[in-house]
Structure 1
Amino acid sequence: MYINFTCPPLPHLIVGGISLFRRGDLHERRVLDHTFDLIFVFSGALYMEEDGRKYTIEPGQYLILPPGRLHKGYKACTSDTTFSWVHFYTTGDYFYSENSITHSDPKMNKTKYYKKDVFYISLPQSGKIDDSLHEMLKNYMDSISQVKIDKYHNEKLFYSSTKSQIEYQQLFLKILTIFCDLQEHEKEKELTDEIFDYLSLHYQDAFNLNQLAAQYSFHPAHIIRSVKKKYGLSPLQLLLSIRIQKAMKLLTEERHSVGEIASLVGFADSAYFCKQFKKITSLTPLQYRNQQRSLHSTD
């Protein structure tokens, strides 16, 4: 499930804290009328129930508990558990959905100088944060923590502000950005997988970046950036790689000439095909065919 905030206004930080639970400790039962509770576990495991739905939050995982819903620990911690939490709220509207809300800004024009269009912050209610982001997230959460709940010493400690409210809100928005990027990365992964499948199916067709971008309703620059991030190649380079893989298989079968294979895998020019083949495999098509023939003859 996704929690979607209509902005402006932006959600705002109330307070952050850290809790140290012992084995056998149980999260309290409560309903927060006006507060979201974001929990991120660093060690151990926290067993939470929200309106009858049970979650096991393990290291690197998080859960957002919305206001107005009963939540509680449904099971005591089975080991020592450390987790950070953030209480936040919004004075604006929010709603729930099964899928994230996709927002794309229309092109800027002179009528938009003085008023911000509505946009959405779409947060997955639960998930896992990439290991590479744990240290950054911990630093942000430590920086906004003003409460420490220590079950070892049966203490609840409160700390004075060490930053301005603007700094606290900036840190909170950085935390939200990490969670927002989580679903952006998932969407980006889905996009690149779909593009790979599309190119694998249409490898014989002429390449057209604008047509590919229109197919998936993204700007060409976003298509290039996403594919390069996943595969280390531009969309055209990825297509060439797919074509060469198809050509390698055909060369092994020995049913077609090099010129015929070039045409079959989408190259209009056999000389260009040979150039790209050698660039990717370090062999000419004939050298590759002879190599494969030699390997199979020794089997």
Structure 2
Amino acid sequence: MDSAILHFISPPIPHFVDCGYACYEVGDSHITRNCIRVFDLIVVRKGMLPIGENGRSWEIKEGEGFILLPDGHHYGSAPCTTDTEIIWIHFQTFGSWQMGTDMNQCMGNQMELIEEHKRLAYLNHADVCSIFIPKHMKLSPKALEVLETFFEQEHEPQSLRNWKRQASFQLFLQHLDRDLASPSNETSIQLADRIELFIRQNYASDITNSVLQKNMNYHPNYLAKVMLKVYGMTPMTYLQYYRLEQSKRLLLQTPWSIARIADEVGFHHVSHYSTCFSKKEGLSPSDFRRKFAKAR
């Protein structure tokens, strides 16, 4: 179904807060609330729930899920016309997220959101990835099966129950993220992940489009198209991005010279490294080290 897409960056992965059941008889409506400060995932197990948010209305049918936003105005858009049962899950995230109209918009904004997330979550040189969750979704049988496990630990000690629910929630999000991909998107994601893994494992070596073509067995133009679709940048752009990220680790964690760090991450000329670094970070490698590693 057509739906807006919620785009999260992790780590940290969006975390489970609370969950429960609710029942509505004919004529009942969903409660009216404003800015509840958590995401509210509603899954209809039976019947149909009319729901409204910020002036828009939806009908959530049996087997469907819907995510209400933490900063929105939520209400029942109409009374229930049949007895309805729902599961609700509250969750939250630390860092950056946004909602796009479709996957193309999410992909176009991906790198900007990642950079914002790194600043907000203090992950200056960590590897992060995107999680895409539809706002309105038809749940797969596997996702529904995982959902039921949230309530299987009611007799467990609280600490153990919370650990298990968080693990179940992460598995549930993984199903939602993967179920969103069409067969063609899934193929693109798998190839893009292969390219990204190859770059991560060999970034200090000489990687060219020809090298990627030989190892991936696809034309460089197709590899670039796939990486643009999934990561928002070509393989060569991602290679430079990853090298610079690794150099930031070394600037903060080692006393090595700038020249040695440039060589360690795959730049043959320290001047080229410094130019690329300054263009991306807005300060030189030396200034970056002085700013963020003063104790050293």
- Percent identical across equivalent pairs? 24
Distance 1:144 1:125, change over 3 A: farther
The answer to whether 1:78 aligns with 2:81 is yes
The one of 116, 134, 146 equivalent to 1:124 is 134
Q: TM-score if structure 2 supplies the norm length?
A: 0.53
Distance apart, 1:2 and its partner CA: 1.3
Q: Counterpart of 2:226?
A: 217
Q: TM-score if structure 1 supplies the norm length?
A: 0.53
Deviations 1:13-38 (A, max 9, x none): 11011111111111000013420000
The answer to whether 1:140 aligns with 2:149 is yes
The one of 40, 43, 46 equivalent to 2:46 is 43
Q: Counterpart of 2:269?
A: none
Rounded to whole Å, the distance in 1 between the matches of 2:222 and 2:74 is 44
For the 8 Å contact 2:30–2:75, the answer to whether it is kept is yes
Rounded to whole Å, the distance in 1 between the matches of 2:152 and 2:182 is 26
Task: Please show how residues 48-59 of structure 1 align to structure 2 within 5 Å.
Answer: 48-59=51-62
SS of 1:171's equivalent?
A: helix
Rounded to whole Å, the distance in 1 between the matches of 2:33 and 2:183 is 32
Aligned length: 183
The one of 170, 173, 176 equivalent to 2:173 is 176
Q: Which amino acid aligns with 2:165?
A: Y
Distance 1:65 1:186, change over 3 A: farther
Distance 1:58 1:73, change over 3 A: same
Deviations 1:49-72 (A, max 9, x none): 010111000011111001111010
The one of 17, 20, 34 equivalent to 1:17 is 20
Rounded to whole Å, the distance in 2 between the matches of 1:162 and 1:81 is 31
Deviations 1:136-177 (A, max 9, x none): 14423434779xxxxxxxxxxxx9737343222101111211
Distance apart, 1:183 and its partner CA: 1.2
Distance apart, 1:90 and its partner CA: 1.2
Q: Counterpart of 1:253?
A: none
Q: Counterpart of 1:239?
A: none
For the 8 Å contact 2:7–2:97, the answer to whether it is kept is yes
Mean alpha-carbon deviation: is it higher for 41-50 or for 182-191? 182-191
Distance apart, 1:179 and its partner CA: 1.4
Q: Counterpart of 2:69?
A: 66
Rounded to whole Å, the distance in 2 between the matches of 1:145 and 1:16 is 11
Greater helix share, structure number? 2
For the 8 Å contact 1:24–1:77, the answer to whether it is kept is yes
For the 8 Å contact 2:52–2:58, the answer to whether it is kept is yes
Deviations 1:177-207 (A, max 9, x none): 1211221246537969xxxxxxxxxxxxxxx
Query: Structure 2: 5+ residue runs without aligned partners?
Result: 112-123, 190-215, 228-296
The one of 2, 5, 15 equivalent to 2:5 is 2
Distance 1:74 1:163, change over 3 A: same
Rounded to whole Å, the distance in 1 between the matches of 2:29 and 2:167 is 32
SS of 1:174's equivalent?
A: helix
Q: Counterpart of 1:97?
A: 100
For the 8 Å contact 2:17–2:92, the answer to whether it is kept is yes
For the 8 Å contact 1:18–1:145, the answer to whether it is kept is no
SS of 2:37's equivalent?
A: coil
SS of 2:142's equivalent?
A: helix
Q: Counterpart of 1:242?
A: none
Q: Which amino acid aligns with 1:27?
A: H
